[in-house]
């Protein structure tokens, strides 16, 4: 019985049967029921197993956010395989590299992927149509340790690193979140993330195991989010904070503007406390949850519920809260390589944390460590600096790699960002290290109506030591964002160099 509880496909099958007449997916005015999604997924699963019955490599998914794409994800799981999303926005070379590293032999694709498929070559079996003639259930052959989905994140060497998330990992996450924040059958959940971003996993499977409806925006441009919320009657929202920052710049976060949203999740990057306040006012004071977690810890592993009373923040960034029940964390003194008391690099352990990177023993050894004090446990080093207060709540202090050296001094760029946010009232702030003859700090500020770099620098001089003062302030209309909606720091560097 425990094994069934720890396998994603079993949860999916159960939902398909229990909620067969409910709406599972909505794209524009088109709706797909759970029963119809099940039939499509089973047909794809049969096609997958007919091609390579004994193969266990992941099934690649390539396409727009269409019924075929989502059915492909479910079909891969019902065929006892992992799914691996590709991305039409990625360069062909990156999609090709992901296919090579994963060993995938099958691609489930929709009509939008036709040209991309031609560029990928003819070495793969392509499933682009659903044959409803064979939509019978396939007996599942999965154990909790098997991979449920495979994602690739940015690697420091230029090669994407594979993050294989097991059935046990993702089911542990879903069990906690569905218990903590109960989703109802009449809820309508947002889906703002690319499928290559692990936060999309939360959207899909938290929705489907609860019998709710996943509402897909026809135009996922940030400028269309307000009308999407209104037209699709979204009741459960999830996005990166940058989406809320942009909506605030467009003057959309007015009191009770999105009162139909009863539950909001944010994750993926530091959440400005000022935006948390504005968002909660816009949703009529309903529950707002700041989630934290790297892909290696399966979507998110800590939470903080923000309201009129609970408004903890540090340096203008909302509290990360406490680690989920059943999961573990410690702060690491990276000099002594032993647990620190109140401040250090955040390390994570427990059933949500993956075992290793895909086919990269060297990288695994670097980030998955054992400590003398806990020789029996493996800890994942997040690279995030954090501190903990007397109530056990965690606070984000910046990235270990955002700690740079200027004239021999250690500098955390997040601290500079906090001062500039305070001085300008803008939540679109990012400081980067610019290597000239000597290393200097350049800060970018977005969305300022009357830019004045002198007043910003004066504010910095009042609160920061000389070596932390930005050499230059650059004003931009809006911050460049990557495909996951986060600030694209590489694009900022190119602005300087260009």
Structure tokens at 110: 């929709």
- Look up the domain containing 446 and give its range: 407-497
Spatial separation of the C-alpha atoms in residues 79 and 67, rounded to whole Å: 18
Q: What's the pLDDT tens digit per position in 88-108?
A: 988 888 899 899 999 999 999
Question: Does any domain span residue 104?
Answer: no
Question: Does any domain span residue 72?
Answer: no
Residue 242 · residue 394 · CB < 8 Å: no
Residue whose C-alpha is closest to residue 332's, from 300, 294, 292, 380:
380
Q: What's the pLDDT tens digit per position in 259-309?
A: 999 999 999 888 999 999 999 999 999 999 999 999 999 999 999 999 999
450 — pLDDT class (breaks 50, 70, 90)? confident
pLDDT at 4: 81
Query: Which CATH number does the domain housing residue 417 bear?
Result: 3.30.300.30
Half-sphere exposure of 273 (CA within 13 A, CB side): 18
Residue 41 · residue 80 · CB < 8 Å: no
Residue 126 · residue 79 · CB < 8 Å: no
Q: What's the pLDDT tens digit per position in 233-264?
A: 999 999 988 889 889 988 999 999 999 999 99
Partners of residue 385 on adjacent β-strands: 345, 398
1, pLDDT greater than 50 = no
Spatial separation of the C-alpha atoms in residues 290 and 222, rounded to whole Å: 20
Question: Does any domain span residue 385?
Answer: no
Question: Does any domain span residue 434?
Answer: yes
Strands 374-388 and 368-371, how do they pair? antiparallel
403, pLDDT greater than 70 = no
Q: Into how many domains does the chain fold?
A: 1
User: Which helix H or strand E contains 459, and what residues bound it?
Assistant: helix 453-463
- Residue 10, Cβ neighbours under 10 Å: how many? 17
Question: Does any domain span residue 419?
Answer: yes
Q: What is the pTM of this model?
A: 0.86
pLDDT at 65: 93
409 — pLDDT class (breaks 50, 70, 90)? low
Q: What's the pLDDT tens digit per position in 202-238?
A: 999 999 999 999 999 988 776 788 999 999 999 999 9
Cα 199 from chain centre: 4
pLDDT at 467: 73
pLDDT at 213: 98
498 — pLDDT class (breaks 50, 70, 90)? low
């Amino acid at each position: 019985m425990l094994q069934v509880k720890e396998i994603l496909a079993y949860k999916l099958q159960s939902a398909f049967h229990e909620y067969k007449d409910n709406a599972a997916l909505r794209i524009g005015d088109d709706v797909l029921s759970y029963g119809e999604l099940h039939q499509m997924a089973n047909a794809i699963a049969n096609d997958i197993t007919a091609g390579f019955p004994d193969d266990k490599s992941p099934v690649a998914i390539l396409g727009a956010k269409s019924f075929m794409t989502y059915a492909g994800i479910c079909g891969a799981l019902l065929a006892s395989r992992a799914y691996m999303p590709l991305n039409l926005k990625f360069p062909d070379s990156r999609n090709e590299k992901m296919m090579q590293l994963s060993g995938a032999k099958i691609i489930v694709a929709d009509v939008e992927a036709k040209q991309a498929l031609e560029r990928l070559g003819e070495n793969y079996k392509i499933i682009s149509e659903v044959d409803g003639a064979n939509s019978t259930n396939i007996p599942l052959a999965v154990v909790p340790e098997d991979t449920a989905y495979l994602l690739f994140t940015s690697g420091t060497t230029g090669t994407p690193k594979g993050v294989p998330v097991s059935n046990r990992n993702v089911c542990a996450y879903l069990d906690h979140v569905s218990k903590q924040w109960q989703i109802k059958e009449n809820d309508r959940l947002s889906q703002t993330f690319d499928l290559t971003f692990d936060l999309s996993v939360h959207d899909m499977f938290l929705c489907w195991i609860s019998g709710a409806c996943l509402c897909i925006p026809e135009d996922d441009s940030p400028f269309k989010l307000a009308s999407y919320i209104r037209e699709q009657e979204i009741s459960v929202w999830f996005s990166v904070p940058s989406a809320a920052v942009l909506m605030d710049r467009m003057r959309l976060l007015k009191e009770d503007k999105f009162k139909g949203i009863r539950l909001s999740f944010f994750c993926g990057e530091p959440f400005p406390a000022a935006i948390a306040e504005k968002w909660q006012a816009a949703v009529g004071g309903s529950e707002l949850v700041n989630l934290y977690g790297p892909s290696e810890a399966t979507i998110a592993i800590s939470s903080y519920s923000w309201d009129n009373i609970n408004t903890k923040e540090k340096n203008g960034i909302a509290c990360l809260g406490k680690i989920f029940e059943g999961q573990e964390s410690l702060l690491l003194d990276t000099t002594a390589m032993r647990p620190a008391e109140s401040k250090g690099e955040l390390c994570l352990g427990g059933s949500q944390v993956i075992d290793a990177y895909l086919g990269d023993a060297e990288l695994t050894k670097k980030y998955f460590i054992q400590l003398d004090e806990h020789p029996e446990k493996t800890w994942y080093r997040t690279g995030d600096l954090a501190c903990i207060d007397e109530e056990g709540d965690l606070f984000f202090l910046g990235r270990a790699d955002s700690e740079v050296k200027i004239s021999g001094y250690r500098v955390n760029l997040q601290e500079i960002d906090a001062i500039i946010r305070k001085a300008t009232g803008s939540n679109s702030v990012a400081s980067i290290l610019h290597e000239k003859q000597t290393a200097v700090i350049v800060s970018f500020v977005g969305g300022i109506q009357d830019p004045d770099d002198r007043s910003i620098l004066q504010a910095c001089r009042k609160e920061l030591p000389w070596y932390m003062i930005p050499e230059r302030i650059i004003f931009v209309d809006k911050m460049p964002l990557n495909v996951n909606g986060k600030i694209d720091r590489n694009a900022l560097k190119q602005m300087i160099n260009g």
